[in-house]
Amino acid sequence: MDKIIALSDGDNTAELQKYLCTLTNDQLTTVINNGALKSKNVGAMIKGIFKGSAPDSPEGSNRRLLVYQHCIPLCESGDLQAEVAADIIGLLMLETHTLSGTSLAKLASLFVEAIKVGKMGSGKSLELFPTVLTALSACEALSYGKGELSGGEYKKQLINSLCSSRWDPQCVIHLTTMFRDVPLSSEELQFVVEKVLRMFTKLDLQEIPPLVYQLLLLSAKGCKKQVLDGIICYFREQDVCQDEEQKLGESLDLEVQSIPLDQLRHVEGTAILHIVFAIRLDHELGREFLKSVKTSYGDLCSFSVALLLSVARIQRYEEQVFDLLKGAIIKSFKDEQLQQGSKFLQDLLPGHCSVAQMILDTVKNSVFGWDHVTQGLVQLGFFLMDAFGPKPGPFGKTTEGTVSIARTPNQQACKLGGQVLLQGFKVHEPIRGEILDQVLNRLVTKTASPVNNYLDLFSDIVVSAPMILLESSSKVTETFDHLSYLPLTTVQGLLKAIQPLLKVSMSLKDALILVLRKAMFSSQLDGRKSAVSGFLLLLKNFKVLGSLASSQCSQAVSSSQIQVDVHARYNSAANEAFCLEILSSLRRCLGQQADVRLMLYEGFYDVLRRNSQLGSSVMQTLLSQLRRYYEPEQDLLPPVKLEPCITALGDQVYLQEPLAHLLSCTVHCLLWLQNMRQSANADEEEEEEEEDEGGEGYQCELQAVLESMTRRMIKCELEDFELDKSAEFSTANSVGVKNNIYAVLVMGVYEILMEYNFIKANYSKSRFEELMELFNRYHKLAEILKEKSGKARGLSNKIPRSLLSLGFISTLLTVLFRDSTQSREEALSVLRSSGEFVRYAVNVAVQKIQQLEETGHTDGPDGQNTDRTFRFLCDTTSVLLWRYTNIPSGVEDAGKKEKRSSLSLVCLEGLLRIFTACQQRYPDRMAQLLSSMEISEDDAEPDEGNVTEMNFFYIRQFQRALFTQLSAGEEEFNSKEAQLLVSILCVLSRQLKPSSQQFVQMITWTVKICKETSFEDSAFSKGLLSLLFNLHVLYKSPVSMLLELCQDIHSQLGDIDENVEVEKQSHFAIINMKTAPAGALLVLSQVDRVLDEVDWLIARKKSQTSSDKSGSGKATQTAGQHNPIEKAVTLQLGTLLTALNELVQTALQPGTCTITLLRALSRTYTTLTTLVKYYIQVCASQHTALPARFEKLVKLSGSHLTPQCYSFITYAQNGEFGGGGADDKKKKKRNEVNTAPSAKLLRETKAIPNVIFNIEQYEKYLITLSKKSKVNLMQYMKLSTSRDFRINSATLDAALQEQDTSQETNASQEAEETQEPRQKKRKQ
């Protein structure tokens, strides 16, 4: 060894060569071994060996190869020190380019073999491999087998054999790192990337992040999409395995985990960081990632969602990412909605993967240290809530009440945003402050649009984490400063949400009271109303000792989570002082505008219900207010002073005191307190006596006032109020306005007195007679008002908004219809004998139900209490149903003579409204409502099977009623009633599960009715067909039924060619001459629905084909698998074309029907074009033959539909513009007398060119497809001559002759000019 070094240091190369020649190969290797192990100057020695081995001589070349062959395994063996091994490899690298091609080939094979048998564990010598491969690819020619290969080809063969052999999991990372330094063609790179991605599953989980990192560095050479897809796909599969193991574990009650969950999540988090880092450095990678997400929404998973949210932190991608996610979420919800609404799609496609669920999973997973995702989650949550929250209605009014259930995709997306933020708030401490800030900011700044979504979120946050909120109470206090400037609904929602905190945070409560006091004197009316509602809320929620809490209204407050001893620093004596102080503030409001007073009166009753100890103060306040408007002199009429109730400003008259509401509030509070006293236990009586000496005084006085009022109001004539038939009621002048206000006040007072007297009467006949007197006065005034306002705007059947309370109405209806107690019979007969009174009671009930349906609550006591309002619905339902089913409407002939609906109809309308209101407002309590309808012996909650049975029991009752209507014959048929029954069936059938046997029975019954009923009632047939379609689409695809209906319509309305006799067909008797046009419109709306589904399926197939293109290996397999969808699409379109072919030949009336049909045709051709484009794409990528079914479809469209379309267009044009009508219309247009016909002309002229254009587009793409598929599809097409500028030859000839004659007379003057055209004509 020393000798070699010595010789190489001297410049005597010849001697060095001689000496090396004397050494055998074994000696040489031993020398190298010894030097390397003792780490003595091994570098210098190897340099010496190379110096003495000339690369161009055979011995030198072989010796060099020997050194390489020996050193590589030596370095890999792990026996050498790291620096020594690195030195050796470094030297070898420098000399690689001197090796001959054959040596390089041998060396490369050595590496490949070593990798195959797993000897490259430490990967040290792998650094040399890229240098070898680079040198190899530079070689001109190498012998390979019997022939020769260029170096590049040889390298390709090597890489191929390397990638197709087995790799030792230990060396995967080393190999990936190594390939970064190898010059690779795109094909070779693909081999390598595929191989590495296949190795993912063989590796230990902890080795995945470094491998991901190396792969991303490798992706700088290309294959970016493949690398990203592979990584995402691996983690998606891991997540799926986790879910399955979890399900398995739950079903077996075992822990089944091949990989610990937290470990997997941490690895995913690290991988996401690596990818985001790579994207920051390589924007091409980012673009590729977003592009691949965009093209395949269906492949999203919680890992890719987390990755997207992390990428969103890079500013240039932020907007794109959120738009992408927004699109994916909305698309996912829409797809889900489409699939739920169609049995055809459910059968065709497996369950839907929900993007919403993935996003919520991402929130759940982000607990494992994914801090880089949380910021994105917060942004996404607010992005969704801002984009899809409720929008302001016209004039900035909020349109919808709070929606209890998210139905539309937009509402669902908004709700998802709220869930993301709420879950994020619960699990991530760092983002809580920001979420709270943003929510409160939006509550304060979004004054123009409704903020229900933010109020709900804020309320949920308060309930789920009250202690956390208390820590940042300063933010809440800041928000209070803006209270007086916010819309009333926002203030009410905010205060309701914050209420649990007020009980435990003194500072918060004090801050709020200060703000409310200021607001009390605000210049804005809304500010003052906010103050009132805030104070009332405080009064309701701070209990005074000794208050009897009525269980129904005590609200479930989440103070249980707040571990603070409330009474320690906050006792009820303090509460009482506090409440009395608030009451004194509220008394000031009694001098303010009517709106403010109204709020106060509506709130006092609820305050008393929660805080009965305040009874005395509240009653004194109300009594002193009432005295202002009460006439104490017993002989004077009327007993109320109406003058002070109004105020004038300029020439306008306003209501100042809502007297009826004041009286209503006083009466309800009085009655409730009296009830409480009666029901209070005997042992409490003594205490009460001491307190109530003052209390008894106001009770007696009030009762006396009410008795006197009743007596005197009965004596009053309308003239006493200056309201009689001759009075002015027009709202155009101040007298009319004043009289209107007076009338409403007086009617309100009558109503309150009716309710009070009914409750006090205790079923005494004489008291009921007094009540009827009150009612007659009320009714007389109502009639005058109706008559006067009727003159102004048609006869209105509406009664003014009633002041009766919910509880009273349900009691009243029950006693009027269902009470059969013997002792009450005589008294009740007084009420029952008046038809007007009974109708009034039912009308008020329907009015309250309508209010409930529209806003979710009613006015009056208990109107805001959901349990009470639901109870009211249940009671009313059972009474109305009994009244409708037990007294047939035929008995009520009296109603027919009048211009109004019979009582049965009003009951039925009430039932319909109840069912719709219940479905909207209490969707989960429908079963409870139905079970309360029949008074069952056991009050047990109905179970699942029972619910369907019960629902079906009522469906059968309404079916029977409808059947009775239909079997009575056409003269007896009451269309309004039948329509209401159909609507009720429609609502109730939504509760049936489409898979249940009852649902099938329901469909069978509906089809039977449609086939057998032949009444000429357009509105009724519309309702019945809608019901049929709604049910049918959940049962199977409706196309075959649409075809039958189209045949019926064709045979009823006749053909566009008057000489053609249409064969008489009648599948559905409900289609007749009168109902066919309406039927046609409904059928066309269903055609639209079918086309929606078909479009959706084609789009789905298209995106699958394009994603298959990128993974072209799978493309040929998938072509065979997805045939069911193609088959279904072709069959649907085939039947649809046949159906439209019938309609296109039908003599439809000009107008809406024709235009709608033209639009449907236009849309059908667009869909056909889309399908043709899809097949063009398939032919381009897969070279498969066209399905025979598709050819048949093309033939059907070309030979049947298109020619008929053109003749229909001619018919439509003649019908619309023919018969001289067109000229008239033109004249009208000129005179601008009437613009409606010209608008119609424009509409019509638009529809026709659209159809023609779409037909021609379809034919254009068919030509392309024919070329691509080598099948002549155009043989089925007759080329059209129909155009917008179609030339009618007969008219043309006549015009030409006319022109000829005129030309002859002018010939002498213009001989030269006219010569040329004449010559042309002769030629022709």
d(CA 863, CA 850): 13
> Which range in 176-185, 208-217, 293-302, 1205-1214 is most confidently predicted, on average pLDDT?
208-217
Write the pLDDT tens digit of every residue in 207-252: 899 999 999 988 888 889 999 999 999 999 998 888 888 888 777 7
Mean pLDDT of 1132-1153: 92
d(CA 992, CA 951): 8
Quick check: 612 and 547 in contact, CB under 8 A?
yes
Mean pLDDT of 486-503: 89
Q: What is the mean pLDDT of the chain?
A: 82
pLDDT above 50: residue 659: yes
Q: Which of 1148, 1033, 1149, 1008 is nearest to 1086 (CA)?
A: 1033
pLDDT of residue 1282: 55
pLDDT of residue 1223: 40
pLDDT above 60: residue 196: yes
Residue 1264, C-beta contacts closer than 8 angstroms, at least 6 positions apart:
1172, 1176
Q: How confident is the model at residue 747 (pLDDT cuts 50, 70, 90)?
A: very high
Size of the chain in residues: 1324
pLDDT of residue 1225: 38
pLDDT above 50: residue 124: yes
Q: Describe the crossing of helices 1289-1306 and 1311-1323 by its angle, rounded to 10 degrees.
A: 150
Q: Describe the crossing of helices 2-9 and 42-51 by its angle, rounded to 10 degrees.
A: 60
pLDDT of residue 1212: 84
pLDDT of residue 173: 84
Q: Which of 158, 86, 80, 166 is nearest to 125 (CA)?
A: 86
Q: How confident is the model at residue 759 (pLDDT cuts 50, 70, 90)?
A: very high
pLDDT of residue 1175: 93
Mean pLDDT of 521-534: 90
pLDDT above 60: residue 397: no
d(CA 1316, CA 1322): 10
d(CA 1172, CA 1263): 10
Mean pLDDT of 571-582: 78
d(CA 417, CA 1083): 38
pLDDT above 90: residue 849: yes
Quick check: 139 and 154 in contact, CB under 8 A?
yes
Residue 1254: CB atoms within 10 A of its CB come to: 20
Residue 149: CB atoms within 10 A of its CB come to: 17
Helix/strand/coil (H/E/C) assignment for every residue in 268-308: HHHHHHHHHHHHHHCHHHHHHHHHHHHHCHHHCCHHHHHHH
pLDDT of residue 553: 38
Quick check: 1004 and 955 in contact, CB under 8 A?
no
pLDDT of residue 148: 66
Poorest-confidence range of 320-324, 345-349, 566-570, 824-828? 566-570
- DSSP letters for 1075-1139: THHHHHHHHHHHHHHHHHHHHHHHHHHHHHHHHHHHTHHHHHHHHHHTHHHHHHHHHHHHHHHHH
pLDDT of residue 1182: 78
pLDDT above 80: residue 1183: no
d(CA 701, CA 684): 24
pLDDT above 80: residue 467: yes
Write the DSSP symbol of residue 923: G
Poorest-confidence range of 331-340, 643-652, 1116-1125? 1116-1125
Pair of tokens at residue 513: 């009271």
Q: Which of 753, 745, 617, 747 is nearest to 691 (CA)?
A: 617
Pair of tokens at residue 235: 């983690």
What would you measure as the largest C-alpha separation in the chain, in angstroms? 149
pLDDT of residue 891: 60
Residue 1237's SS3 state is: helix
pLDDT of residue 969: 79
Write the pLDDT tens digit of every residue in 669-723: 999 998 888 887 444 554 444 444 456 778 899 999 999 999 999 999 988 888 8
Q: How would you class 312 by CB atoms within 10 Å of its CB: exposed for 0-12, middle for 13-18, buried for 19 or more?
A: buried
Residue 151's SS3 state is: helix
- DSSP letters for 628-664: TTB---TTSSSSB--GGGEEEETTEEEE---HHHHHH
Helices and strands counted in the chain (H then E)? 59, 4
d(CA 213, CA 215): 5
Quick check: 858 and 806 in contact, CB under 8 A?
yes
Rg (CA), the chain: 44
Rounded alpha-carbon distances, angstroms, from residue 722 to 726, 743, 746, 978, 1227 = 9, 10, 11, 45, 56
pLDDT of residue 794: 42
Quick check: 292 and 308 in contact, CB under 8 A?
no
Write the pLDDT tens digit of every residue in 859-895: 888 888 888 899 999 999 999 999 988 876 656 554 4
Pair of tokens at residue 370: 């994914």
pLDDT of residue 1158: 93
β-strands 147-149, 142-144 pairing:
antiparallel
Residue 709, C-beta contacts closer than 8 angstroms, at least 6 positions apart:
630, 639, 640, 749, 753
Q: How confident is the model at residue 815 (pLDDT cuts 50, 70, 90)?
A: very high
pLDDT of residue 144: 61
Write the pLDDT tens digit of every residue in 1226-1254: 343 334 444 555 556 555 568 888 999 99
pLDDT above 70: residue 5: no
Write the pLDDT tens digit of every residue in 472-492: 888 899 999 998 889 988 999
Write the pLDDT tens digit of every residue in 1197-1216: 998 899 899 889 888 887 65
